[in-house]
């Protein structure tokens, strides 16, 4: 059955033997670690909603490869409608988790690698496309979480991969064998890899001939020998080790990033999807980036919905929901959030089929979407902080609230409007802190800037896609100007 239950997903991870490190020590059972578990719960929600008839249309699709019902996160987009449903699904999950749910990168990588391998085979007569199709059938049938891995450490940003003082600062092929290749290097900012069954590696930039050993794409299980996962720190992450849940802000859900080391990892031939075809590295990067920039018009909007709701609720608990300036700030938050959603839907609705058969978004509008995401969530967060008041960063702890000696003072002096328990007001304030400054800020505020490429990367693509010559011709035609 292509759809795993949430329990089957958890059990499948428990069977894996990943090499995960946190605070300098190896984590024997990542699935049970209190810092990691909230991020696992977010991925688990992608399995839960796929089992719910209410969300079946958004969360599942029919595979064009097998004809079976599959989780949409493993789907190849077959129409503009599929692209739109992807964004709506991401908004839904953002609303349900208020955090990063970690399967988007893999989904976007599937669609980018699919069309790129098709084009490589057409030019070079290689077998990458058929290999990838067989791999994706396996992923769909087993309903796997796949971590898309693109970003390299990069070292000196002014130098290409082959000119780095340390050649491993971009992941590379170090040995070719009859049965496969050996790779060495690292990938950074790896979203949800501890919760993933597989990792799908892609090059990080356009390459030249001298960089061909760095032009590599492949997939391996995340517990493959030589893969070492170093779990990333987040602000306030050790609060998850404390008793109680109030100070976590978001008590159930979260996200994570990691530094992933590939220490002489063997990749068998059937799992290799690019091996030295440097002229296609930039194409793969641009296609993946376009899909992933589309994604932000869904996931960030869903998380934004929760933050707007928290701002409105704390205004109510503070006794100022009818104040004109509060209402105006909430309206502005809604306006910004829905504008992000509009661009996510627009680039999807203007999608088109690739030669391989799957659908690709409108690249210009996808980059416009992500450019807005580098700005609007920061303003939404600022307005939420404004409405919340300073208490969301100066409030005493849950331990103080529970203290027999001083808890009564917190109950008395941190109360808002009559009829609302102090604890409820504190919960909402902690959630706002979590979403704007704490662990959730990694997947909302900061990732809005750097995820799917820097703001300048989008501006470069906007310049390439904008067709200024056509716009100038419009003026010449109106004014009867002849060249």
What is the model's pLDDT at position 125? 98
- Kindly state whether residue 416 falls inside one of the protein's structural domains: yes
Alpha-carbon distance of 456 to 263, in angstroms, equals: 32
Segment 319-347 mean pLDDT: 98
Alpha-carbon distance of 31 to 415, in angstroms, equals: 38
Q: Give the CATH number of the domain where residue 449 resides.
A: 1.20.140.10
pTM greater than the 0.95 cutoff: yes
What is the model's pLDDT at position 440? 87
Measured between alpha carbons, how far is residue 85 from residues 64, 218, 295, 337, 363 in Å?
16, 28, 11, 18, 18
pLDDT single digits (tens) 83-118: 999 999 999 999 999 999 999 999 999 999 999 999
φ and ψ of 259, to 5 deg: -95, 125
Segment 451-463 mean pLDDT: 94
What is the model's pLDDT at position 483? 87
pLDDT single digits (tens) 279-311: 999 999 999 999 999 999 999 999 999 999 999
Alpha-carbon distance of 143 to 257, in angstroms, equals: 22
What is the model's pLDDT at position 1? 61
**Contact indicator for 195, 145 with CB cutoff of 8 Å:** yes
Q: How large a percentage of the chain has pLDDT more than 70?
A: 100
Three-class SS string for the chain?
A: CCCCCHHHHHHHHHCCCCEEEECCEEECCHHHCCCCHHHHHHHHHHHHHHCCHHHHHHHEEECCCCCCEEEHHHCCCCCHHHHHHHHHHHHHHHHHHCCCCCCHHHHHHHHHHHHHHHHHHHHHCCCHHHHHHHHHHHHHHHCCCEEEECCCCCCCCCCCHHHCCCHHHCCEEEEEECCEEEEEEEECCCCCHHHCCEEEECCCCCCCHHHHHHCEEEEEECCCCCEEEEECCCCCHHHHHCCCCHHHCCCCCCCCCEEEEEEEEEEEHHHEEEECCHHHHHHHHHHHHHHHHHHHHHHHHHHHHHHHHHHHHHHHHHCCCCCHHHHHHHHHHHHHHHHHHHHHHHHHHCCEECCCCCEECCHHHHHHHHHHHCCHHHHHHHHHHHHHCCHHHHCCCHHHHHCCCCHHHHHHHCCCCCCCCHHHHHHHHHHHHHHHCCHHHHHHHHHHHHCCCCHHHHHHHHHHHCCHHHHHHHHHHHHCCCC
**Contact indicator for 38, 252 with CB cutoff of 8 Å:** yes
422's CB contacts (< 8 A; 6+ apart) are 401, 410, 411, 414, 415, 416
Segment 50-66 mean pLDDT: 98
Q: pLDDT band at residue 29, thresholds of 50, 70 and 90? A: very high
Please, what sign has the CA dihedral across residues 6, 187, 450, 371?
negative
- Kindly state whether residue 66 falls inside one of the protein's structural domains: no
Alpha-carbon distance of 36 to 232, in angstroms, equals: 10
What is the model's pLDDT at position 164? 98
pLDDT at 441 over 90: no
- Kindly state whether residue 380 falls inside one of the protein's structural domains: yes
- Kindly state whether residue 236 falls inside one of the protein's structural domains: no
Catalytic positions: 100, 104, 191, 257, 292, 296, 299, 447
Partnered with residue 258 across adjacent β-strands are 231
- Kindly state whether residue 28 falls inside one of the protein's structural domains: no
Alpha-carbon distance of 146 to 46, in angstroms, equals: 13
- Kindly state whether residue 361 falls inside one of the protein's structural domains: yes
Alpha-carbon distance of 353 to 76, in angstroms, equals: 11
Alpha-carbon distance of 428 to 313, in angstroms, equals: 8
What is the model's pLDDT at position 442? 87
**Tokens 């091996």 belong to which residue?**
275
Segment 344-368 mean pLDDT: 98
Measured between alpha carbons, how far is residue 266 from residues 144, 146, 216, 258, 302 in Å?
21, 18, 13, 21, 39
What is the model's pLDDT at position 2? 81
- Kindly state whether residue 406 falls inside one of the protein's structural domains: yes
- Kindly state whether residue 25 falls inside one of the protein's structural domains: no
Classify each residue of 30-54 as buried b or exposed e, where b means 16 or more C-beta atoms within 10 Å of its C-beta: bbebebbbbbbbbbbbbbebbeeee
125 conformational bin, left if phi > 0, alpha if psi -120 to 50, beta if neither = left
pLDDT single digits (tens) 228-265: 999 999 999 999 999 999 999 999 999 999 999 999 99
End-to-end, the C-alpha distance of the chain in Å comes to 64
Closest CA to 146 of 197, 190, 186: 197
Q: Which domain holds residue 455?
A: 283-473
What is the model's pLDDT at position 379? 98
How many residues in total does the chain contain? 483
Partnered with residue 216 across adjacent β-strands are 275
pLDDT single digits (tens) 358-406: 999 999 999 999 999 999 999 999 999 999 999 999 999 999 999 999 9
The total of structural domains in the chain comes to: 1
pLDDT at 19 over 80: yes
17's CB contacts (< 8 A; 6+ apart) are 223
């Amino acid at each position: 059955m292509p759809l795993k239950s949430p329990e089957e997903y958890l059990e499948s991870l428990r069977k894996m033997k990943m090499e995960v490190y946190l605070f300098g020590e190896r984590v024997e059972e990542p699935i049970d670690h209190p810092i990691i578990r909230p991020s696992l719960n977010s991925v688990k929600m992608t399995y839960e909603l796929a089992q719910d008839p209410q969300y079946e249309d958004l969360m599942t699709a029919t595979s064009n490869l097998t004809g079976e019902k599959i989780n949409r996160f493993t789907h190849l987009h077959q129409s503009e409608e599929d692209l739109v449903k992807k964004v709506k699904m991401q908004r839904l999950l953002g609303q349900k988790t208020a955090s990063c749910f970690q399967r988007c990168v893999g989904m976007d990588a599937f669609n980018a690698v699919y069309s790129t391998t098709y084009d490589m085979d057409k030019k070079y007569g290689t077998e990458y496309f058929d290999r990838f199709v067989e791999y994706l059938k396996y992923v769909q049938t087993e309903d796997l979480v796949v971590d898309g891995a693109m970003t390299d450490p990069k070292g000196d940003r002014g130098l290409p991969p082959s000119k780095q003082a340390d050649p491993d600062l971009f992941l590379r092929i170090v040995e070719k064998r009859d049965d496969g290749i050996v790779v060495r290097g690292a990938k950074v900012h790896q979203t949800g890899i501890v919760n993933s069954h597989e990792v799908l590696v892609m090059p990080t930039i356009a390459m030249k001939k001298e960089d061909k050993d760095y032009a590599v794409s492949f997939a391996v299980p995340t517990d493959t020998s030589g893969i070492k996962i170093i779990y990333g720190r987040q602000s306030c992450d050790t609060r998850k080790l404390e008793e109680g849940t109030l100070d976590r802000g978001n008590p159930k859900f979260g996200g994570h990033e990691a530094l992933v080391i590939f220490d002489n990892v063997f990749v068998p031939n059937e799992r290799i999807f690019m091996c030295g075809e440097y002229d296609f590295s930039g194409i793969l990067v641009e296609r993946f980036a376009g899909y992933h920039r589309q994604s932000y018009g869904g996931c960030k909007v869903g998380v934004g919905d929760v933050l707007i709701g928290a701002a409105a609720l704390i205004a109510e608990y503070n006794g100022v929901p009818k104040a004109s300036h509060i209402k105006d700030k909430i309206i502005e938050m809604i306006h910004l959030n829905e504008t992000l959603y509009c661009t996510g839907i627009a680039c999807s609705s203007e999608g088109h089929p690739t030669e391989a058969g799957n659908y690709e978004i409108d690249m210009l509008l996808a980059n416009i979407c992500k450019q807005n995401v580098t700005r609007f969530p920061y303003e939404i967060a600022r307005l939420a902080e404004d409405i919340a008041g300073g208490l969301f960063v100066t409030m005493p702890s849950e331990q103080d609230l529970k203290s027999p000696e001083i808890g009564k003072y917190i109950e008395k002096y941190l109360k808002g409007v009559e009829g609302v328990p102090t604890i409820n007001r504190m919960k909402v304030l902690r959630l706002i802190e979590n979403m704007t400054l704490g662990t959730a800020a990694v997947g909302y505020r900061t990732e809005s800037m750097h995820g799917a490429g820097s703001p300048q990367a989008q501006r470069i693509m906007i310049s390439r896609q904008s067709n200024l010559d056509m716009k100038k011709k419009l003026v010449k035609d109106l004014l009867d100007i002849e060249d």
